[in-house]
Amino acid sequence: MIEDNQLERAAEIFQTARKAPYYRQKYSGLGVPSSWDEWRRIPVLERTELYDNTYPRTTTMFTGALEDSIVSSTGGSSGVARTIVLRQNEWNDFCQKQAEAFMRLGVSKDDIVANMFVAGHLWPSFIGAHEMIMRSSCVHLPISANIGIDEAYRLCREYKPTVILSLPTFFVLMADIAKKDNKPFDGLRMACYAGEQMSREAEAHVRKWLGVKEIKPLAYTSGDCGIMGYQCADCGFGEYHTLTDFQLIEIVNPVTLEPVGPGETGEILVTSLRREFHPIIRYRIGDLASWIDRPCACGSADRKYRLAGRAGEDFKLGGAYVTVGEFERAVSEVEELSLNFQIELADVAGARMDLVVNVECDRPEKHADAARRLEEVLAQHIPDIAGGLKIGFFNRYEVCLVPLGSLPRNPITGKIKKVIDHRVD
């Protein structure tokens, strides 16, 4: 039974983890679990714990001496950077799993693959992709996103990759530029992304303007946990298979931390079944998902789940919670605008607020009408905006257009923070 093997391995990891001072203390009084009920008594690991005990400030989460390892950082796109240290063999395992997921997408020796992830700052995406590509027998173009969009774009035109790899934010900008040139890419058949979830709207935009046939997530992967899910040919949008022998995935109710029922959405907890040096046990990664409990047409016994966005990505507007996805759908309806945008929220005196949406666009000075149109579309899509406008709740409600590529990117990860909330709680 898969579940029995997973429990056995997870229990071994738990036992190993107690060699580290931090975990010894965290798990004091707990025995090695011999059933799933006992397993669920192990307290979850919060992101703040990883941050508070991160290397190089401390080594309290390590189960042995620091040697033969690679240090990688999460980049802090969702708050603060956490550092993860992997033994070389653990890193190699991860790269191998990532390469297997890549080849499952149909990548072969005939492919020319442009690696346009961000390198440097201990951020693992460029070097991880490098290792993955080198294990996949295709041709590697190590372009990176660091050289700037114009140069990366030019190199892609010149070297004609069949597969491009980067963040959704980067692909959206590439598509914005191709749209300006009105020239799709020759021979480009697939764009693979990682680092962020990509919306259907962003996919449609990239497909149309880069002329790419397929858009696929490289895998469901994060800086702290590595690869947590892969897609087979039968996986739909946002669906992934678990890597049964590599990670234990649990989906729990965010309040009670009890397992969710079939079809119910909850928070993902990850336990790495490989990492013994810097163990990750029941880690609350911050993503939401639900189980898909029907067998997959591909025949794999690896259980499937569907990602459902990030915990805490919703924000309060007036009385109700709205999602970034609702804004994205509205932006996608205004042809002239890029899907790279940022929402800014601020309190003003008299219980009113400012809501400003900054959207990238080619030649903003020419498209003031598109900004006004988006203001209307947003009010049609989101009742709380329409209601707020009616009662004068907004001190300022405005869509501002900014040039392509000009919204601030996280210098380490290249991501754009979608919501900047200046309001006090």
300 or 395: CB nearest Zn ion: 300
Whether residue 199 contacts residue 188, with contact meaning beta carbons closer than 8 Å, is answered with no
232 or 317: CB nearest Zn ion: 232
Instruction: Kindly state the helix (H) or strand (E) to which residue 226 belongs, with its residue range.
Output: strand 226-229
Q: Which of 80, 119, 296, 389 binds Zn ion (CB under 5 A)?
A: 296
Each as own residue / partner, the long-range contacts of residues 14-20 (CB below 8 Å, 24 or more positions apart, any chain) are 14/42, 14/279, 14/281, 16/63, 16/276, 16/279, 17/63, 17/279, 17/281, 19/63, 19/64, 20/60, 20/61, 20/62, 20/63, 20/279
Spatial distance between the Cα atoms of 279 and 17, rounded to a whole number of angstroms: 6
Spatial distance between the Cα atoms of 397 and 408, rounded to a whole number of angstroms: 21
Give the x-and-dash track for 313-332 against Zn ion (CB under 5 A): --------------------
187: left (phi over 0), alpha (psi -120 to 50) or beta: left
296 or 400: CB nearest Zn ion: 296
**Would you state the structure tokens that stand for residue 407, as one six-digit string?**
């919204």
265 or 300: CB nearest Zn ion: 300
Residues 215-234 that bind Zn ion (CB under 5 A): 232, 234
Q: Which of 298, 308, 400, 402 binds Zn ion (CB under 5 A)?
A: 298
Least gap, CB of 207 to Zn ion (angstroms)? 23
State yes or no: residue 100 binds Zn ion (CB under 5 A): no
Spatial distance between the Cα atoms of 91 and 61, rounded to a whole number of angstroms: 17
Least gap, CB of 111 to Zn ion (angstroms)? 22
204 or 296: CB nearest Zn ion: 296
202 or 232: CB nearest Zn ion: 232
Give the x-and-dash track for 182-201 against Zn ion (CB under 5 A): --------------------
Least gap, CB of 202 to Zn ion (angstroms)? 24
174: nearest Cα among 366, 326, 339: 339
Residues that bind Zn ion (CB under 5 A): 232, 234, 296, 298, 300
